[in-house]
Amino acid sequence: MADEIDRPTPRRKPKPEVTRIGGRDLSPATLMMGFGFDPMLSEGALKPPIFLTSTFAFESAAAGKRHFEGLTGKRTGEMEGLVYSRFNGPNQEIVEDRLGIWDGAEDALVFSSGMSAIATLLLAYTGAGDVIVHSGPLYAATEGFIGKVMAKFGVTWLDFPAGADRGEIEQVLEQARVKAAEQGGKLALIYLESPANPTNALVDIEAVAAAREAVCGESQHVSPIAIDNTFLGPLWQRPLANGADIVVYSLTKYAGGHSDLVAGGLSGAKRWMDPVRALRNTMGTICDPNTAWMLLRSLETLEIRMRRATENAVRVCDMLKDHPKVEGVGFLGLLAEGPQLDIYRRHCTGPGSTFSLFVRGGEAESFRFLDSLRIAKLAVSLGGTETLASHPAAMTHLSIAPERRAALGITDNLVRISIGIEDPDDLIADFDQALAAV
């Protein structure tokens, strides 16, 4: 009788998943249409229904116990059944499976925003006395969270500039190791953002991994390298292949891709995801089912959207680079021979479609340009189907002290542009007339 009650929960996911056909690994673009979802488990619905429920009924008390054992790590292997929507739900699980495919990651987690992903990650990996080493610049809210919020918990930080070479990075990691030992903590996390928002500066992930190995030796396994891959991922950069452990996203940007949702993501090996999942379970920073469903819709077109936007950006930047009203263009497709191009060749497969435009002049000239745009919308954010333009020094990075902004290259004539999937000739005409008005 007991055996009958304690029978395994019926399957909830497609098994086995089809990921290879005729000796060929299916590409992420193909897998985005069906991976992780079996219509036959949902009345034949081709697309996953949105599971609007706060909790999940157990088949039996014993099944409930098994699910909680899975949830709390007392039982290893995949979670057998769902428990409560603060922990996970079907829509979120499918997005997590599909996000992991893009990054070549064993596991992934989705969050209610990029910042809630970042905050949960930082809180999961650090404690009093610990030191975070990060590259600079970072998205301003990330920098603020590390500098102001983590400081309240006794966590300190050191940084190195995005373009730093292996020697410089090693020096900073060594300082951090010494500082952490003095504070009774550890070098808890190496946090990168590459390309950096808003300068597009690239971090040499391979150099960071080599420096960590040199400085930390065996204990490198307690200091994961996390990297915010929002600007190029998941199509144009796969940082796990270059030595990163955790990939961070604002899924609000290219992954969501239509400027109609806010979400975040992390991916990496299960051992790196587990502590973050446990804290997400406690805090409830997971994204809601509706947002997860929209992300599934978006991931189906990710590759064509990112390719078209990048082709457009190449065309637009080609016009901008020689324009007399333009001082420079910070576009990864226009890097000159040097260390940044070397990193680009080793880490990236495409330049993306977000770049910085340095208008000749200062804030007044930049504002005139922004106010004259007719197709491009004046808004912060990036990675949507539409072209957006903003002024980081006066907007997203206003909270950063002017001296630090200057040191990071966030000047008053820097306009950040995210190119969408419109007709490129229309965009070129719009930028041309807006520059003429400067």
Ligand X SMILES: Cc1ncc(COP(=O)(O)O)c(C=O)c1O
Beta strand 156-161 with 131-136 is parallel
Closer residue to ligand X (CB): 215 or 309:
309
Phi-psi region of 56 (alpha: psi -120 to 50; beta: other; left: phi over 0): beta
Task: Tell me the C-alpha to C-alpha distance, in Å, between residue 146 and each of 153, 203, 354, 401.
Answer: 10, 19, 25, 15
Q: How many residues bind ligand X (CB under 6 A)?
A: 13
Look up residue 385 and give its two tokens: 């189907």
Report, as residue numbers or ranges, the catalytic residues: 86, 139, 228, 253
Residue 114 interacts with ligand X (CB under 6 A): yes or no: yes
Which run of H or E residues covers position 367? helix 363-372
Neighbouring residues of 39: CB distance < 8 A, sequence distance ≥ 6:
45, 46
- Quote the CA–CA distance of 189 and 245 in Å, as a whole number: 10
Neighbouring residues of 141: CB distance < 8 A, sequence distance ≥ 6:
115
Residue 264 interacts with ligand X (CB under 6 A): yes or no: yes
Closer residue to ligand X (CB): 288 or 365:
288
Closer residue to ligand X (CB): 263 or 326:
263
**Interacting span for ligand X (CB under 6 A) from 110-118, 237-245, 311-319, 325-333:** 110-118
Closer residue to ligand X (CB): 220 or 267:
267
Of 109, 107, 164, nearest to 135 by C-alpha is 164
CB of 287 to ligand X, least distance (A): 10
- Quote the CA–CA distance of 100 and 97 in Å, as a whole number: 5
Closer residue to ligand X (CB): 297 or 368:
297
CB of 233 to ligand X, least distance (A): 10
Neighbouring residues of 179: CB distance < 8 A, sequence distance ≥ 6:
131, 156, 158
CB of 266 to ligand X, least distance (A): 12
Residue 424 interacts with ligand X (CB under 6 A): yes or no: no
Task: Write each residue from 22 to 61 as x if it is in contact with ligand X (CB under 6 A), else as -, in one continuous string.
Answer: ----------------------------------------
CB of 155 to ligand X, least distance (A): 19
Hey, which residues between 325 and 384 contact ligand X (CB under 6 A)? 381
- Quote the CA–CA distance of 186 and 178 in Å, as a whole number: 9
CB of 171 to ligand X, least distance (A): 26
Task: Write each residue from 298 to 317 as x if it is in contact with ligand X (CB under 6 A), else as -, in one continuous string.
Answer: --------------------
- Quote the CA–CA distance of 392 and 396 in Å, as a whole number: 5
Residue type, 30: T
Task: Write each residue from 138 to 157 as x if it is in contact with ligand X (CB under 6 A), else as -, in one continuous string.
Answer: -x------------------
Task: Write each residue from 174 to 193 as x if it is in contact with ligand X (CB under 6 A), else as -, in one continuous string.
Answer: -------------------x
* 246-250 β-sheet, strand order: 107-111, 264-268, 246-250, 225-228, 187-193, 131-136, 156-161
Closer residue to ligand X (CB): 156 or 194:
194
Closer residue to ligand X (CB): 71 or 400:
400
- Of 194, 252, 366, 413, the one binding ligand X (CB under 6 A) is 252
CB of 105 to ligand X, least distance (A): 18
C-beta neighbour count of 166 within 10 angstroms = 15
- Quote the CA–CA distance of 57 and 131 in Å, as a whole number: 43
Helices 339-347 and 205-216 pack at an angle, to 10 degrees, of: 90
CB of 112 to ligand X, least distance (A): 8
- Of 88, 91, 92, 113, the one binding ligand X (CB under 6 A) is 113
Which residues are at the interface with ligand X (CB under 6 A)?
113-115, 139, 193, 197, 228, 230, 250, 252, 262, 264, 381
